């Protein structure tokens, strides 16, 4: 049987990242056939409001990989400014006497959690079982094989609007691809960013997108908390361009200079956004032990000094998520932007996790190569 290439798509608010890999026959891992990073021709105020434009950009991203092989299924990662996050506690009866917990009991528990959390206009994106309790046990993530009369479960559920999912499916299917798996970018970033630190049990993830920034707390690889902050790299550049009456290209350049920018108005805008993010991180880490590591992802995290500011705010070392496969690329924003799609291929083929690089290396390089980053939005 011929092995078919795998397509991975990261459909963001400002661009589409694509990677196509050929799984090794009978072995873990894959050969990277091609990759691309294509921005939308026009940035809409509401993301996914134009499925046709997204579909055309996906088609351009596939063509830009220069891969001529046949493929019809895609792994898709998504982030959305209107993600919802909810903790749910549910229980299901098992019997009058303790009965052995089976897989179908866990499925009943999951179904009950979704029924409680989902509204008529929401669909699940991430469903994490934080722990279960029963007769004589508590906080067990996988209680199968144990016995209980009633099974109680705590879940963390991340949802997205039904309209966004429908628009996404329409855009992907319009180019002749079927969504084999829909996932969330934040866990992919954590998997890549912590590959060099396997002992990191508590990880704070900060994903700076174009319109919004996601902050997630992972404990032992499980997403325990999530908050979305209403600012991103493109939104920051747009605000600078509007307030200071300059072009978007100039605004993007100034935004990348971070708090080192010579313009006090730019520094004030950046510091205001960082203060909002700092307050969110503080709330999330309140009454929590200091995280073992902080993982930064998204091209907005390339703003000069951002990694150091996050380290000072959290007291934990930060790493910038990028795949080892892209380390030879000169464009730093491309290295960071391709990480989710490469992470999906790594996960799907059972390959070893790619390693990350310290953020300070990026900040030093940005000072010398700022011109190649002015189009990173």
pLDDT digits (tens, 9 = 90+) for 70-112: 888 999 999 888 888 999 999 999 999 999 999 999 999 999 9
202 & 191 share domain:
yes
User: Mind listing the pLDDT tens digit for each residue in 7-43?
Assistant: 999 998 888 999 999 999 888 889 999 999 999 988 7
- Gap between the Cα atoms of 247 and 377, Å rounded: 14
Whether residue 170 sits in one domain with residue 248: no
Pick the more confident residue, 376 or 118: 118
- Percentage of the chain beyond pLDDT 90 is 57
Return all residues near 37 (Cβ < 8 A) that are at least 6 apart: 15, 16, 17, 18, 61, 334, 337, 338
Q: Are residues 232 and 124 part of one domain? A: no
Of 182, 216, 235, which residue sits at a domain end?
A: 182
Take residue 308 and report the two structure tokens written for it: 């150091």
Give the predicted TM-score (pTM) of the model: 0.87
Please check whether residues 228 and 319 belong to one and the same domain.
yes
DSSP string, 212-250: -EEEEEEETTEEEEEEEES--HHHHHHHHHHHHT--HHH
- For 332, what's the count of Cα atoms within 13 Å in the CB-facing half-sphere? 28
> Mean pLDDT, to the nearest integer, of 327-351?
84
Residue 296 lies in a domain: yes
pLDDT for the residue 330: 66
- For residue 364, what are its two tokens? 């030093």
Residues 112 and 259 in one domain: no
From its phi and psi, is residue 66 left (phi > 0), alpha (psi between -120 and 50) or beta?
Answer: left
Mean of the per-residue pLDDT values of the chain: 86
In a domain, 10, yes or no: yes
**Nearest CA-CA partner of 273 in 283, 259, 262, 261:** 259
Indicate if 214 and 246 belong to the same structural domain. yes
The whole-angstrom separation of Cα 251 and Cα 240 is: 6
- Same domain assignment for residues 320 and 238: yes
Give me the half-sphere count of Cα atoms (radius 13 Å) on the Cβ side of residue 59: 12
Domain that holds residue 103: 84-160
- Looking at per-residue pLDDT, the higher value among 132 and 301 belongs to 132
- Tell me what the mean pLDDT of segment 137-150 comes to: 94
> Total domain count for the chain?
3
| Distance of alpha carbon 336 from alpha carbon 189, whole angstroms | 10
pLDDT exceeds cutoff 50 at 370: no
Measured distance CA(132)–CA(199) in Å, rounded: 24
- CA 330/CA 343 separation, integer angstroms: 20
**Residue 62, burial from CB neighbour count under 10 angstroms (0-12, 13-18, 19+):** buried
Query: Do residue 237 and residue 265 come from a single domain?
Result: yes
**pLDDT value at residue 13:** 84
- Residue 221 inside a domain? The answer is yes
Identify the three-state secondary structure at position 84.
Answer: strand
d(CA 88, CA 144): 20
Question: What is the C-alpha separation between 375 and 339, in angstroms, rounded?
Answer: 18
* 170 and 147 in a common domain: no
State yes or no: pLDDT of 51 exceeds 90. Answer: no
User: Is 1 part of a structural domain of the chain?
Assistant: no
Residue 192: pLDDT band by 50, 70, 90 thresholds? confident
Q: What angle do CA 129, 131, 134 make, to 5 degrees?
A: 125
Q: What is the pLDDT of residue 353?
A: 47
Give the C-alpha separation, 134 to 143, whole Å: 9
Express as a percent the part of the chain with pLDDT over 70: 89
Helices (H), strands (E): how many in the chain?
11, 16
Pair 208, 264 in one domain: yes
Q: Output the pLDDT for position 375.
A: 42
Residue 102: give its domain's CATH number.
3.30.1490.110
Q: Provide mean pLDDT across the span 56-71.
A: 93
Which of 202-206, 277-281, 349-353 has the lowest average pLDDT?
Answer: 349-353
Of 152, 182, 212, which closes a domain? 182
Are 57 and 201 in the same domain?
Answer: no
Q: Is 181 in a helix, a strand, or coil?
A: strand
What is the CATH classification number for the domain harbouring 36? 3.30.420.40
Report residue 113 as tokens: 């959690």
Residue 246 lies in a domain: yes
Higher pLDDT, 180 or 25: 180
In sequence order, what are the beta bridge partners of 318? 294
Long-range contacts of 281-290 (CB under 8 A, 24+ apart): 281/204, 281/206, 281/215, 281/310, 281/313, 281/314, 282/313, 283/227, 284/204, 284/215, 284/217, 284/225, 284/227, 285/204, 285/217, 285/314, 288/202, 288/217, 289/202, 290/202, 290/314, 290/315, 290/316
β-strands 293-297, 178-184 pairing: unpaired
122-136 average pLDDT score:
93
Assigned token pair, 267: 């520094």
Following DSSP, what letter does each residue of 20-45 receive, concatenated?
Answer: EEEE-TTSS-EEEEEEEEEE-SS--S
Same-domain check for residues 172 and 289: no
Domain boundary among 127, 160, 193: 160
């Amino acid at each position: 049987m011929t092995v078919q290439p795998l397509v991975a798509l990261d459909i963001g608010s400002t661009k589409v990242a694509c990677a196509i890999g050929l799984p090794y026959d009978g072995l873990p891992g894959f050969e990277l056939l091609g990759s691309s990073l294509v921005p939308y021709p026009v940035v809409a105020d509401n993301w996914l409001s134009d499925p046709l434009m997204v579909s055309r950009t996906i088609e351009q991203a596939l063509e830009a990989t220069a891969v001529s092989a046949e493929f019809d299924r895609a792994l898709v990662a998504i982030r959305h400014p209107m993600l919802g996050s909810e903790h749910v506690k549910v229980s299901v009866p098992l019997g009058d006497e303790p009965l052995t917990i089976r897989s179908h009991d866990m499925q009943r528990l999951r179904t009950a959690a979704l029924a409680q959390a989902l509204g008529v206009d929401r669909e699940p994106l991430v469903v994490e079982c934080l722990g279960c309790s029963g007769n004589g046990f508590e906080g067990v993530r996988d209680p199968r094989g144990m016995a209980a009369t009633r099974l109680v479960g705590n879940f963390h559920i991340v949802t997205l609007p039904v309209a966004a999912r429908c628009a996404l499916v329409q855009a992907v299917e319009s180019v002749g691809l079927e969504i084999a798996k829909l996932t969330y970018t934040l866990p992919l970033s954590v998997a890549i960013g912590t590959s060099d630190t396997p002992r990191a049990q508590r990880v704070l993830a900060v994903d700076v997108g174009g319109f919004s920034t996601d902050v997630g707390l992972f404990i032992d690889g499980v997403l325990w908390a999530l908050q979305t902050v209403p600012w991103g790299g493109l939104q920051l550049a747009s605000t600078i361009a509007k307030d200071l009456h300059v072009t978007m290209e100039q605004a993007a350049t100034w935004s990348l200079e971070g708090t080192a920018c010579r313009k006090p108005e730019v520094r004030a805008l950046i510091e205001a956004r960082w203060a909002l993010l700092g307050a969110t991180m503080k709330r999330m880490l309140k009454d929590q032990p200091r995280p073992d590591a902080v993982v930064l992802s998204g091209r907005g995290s390339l703003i000069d000094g951002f990694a150091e500011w996050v380290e000072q705010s959290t007291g934990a070392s930060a790493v910038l998520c990028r795949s080892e496969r892209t380390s030879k690329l000169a464009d730093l924003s491309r290295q960071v932007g391709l990480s989710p799609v490469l992470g999906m291929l790594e996960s799907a083929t059972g390959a070893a996790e790619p390693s990350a690089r310290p953020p300070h290396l990026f900040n030093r390089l940005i000072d010398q190569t700022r011109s190649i980053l002015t189009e990173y939005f």
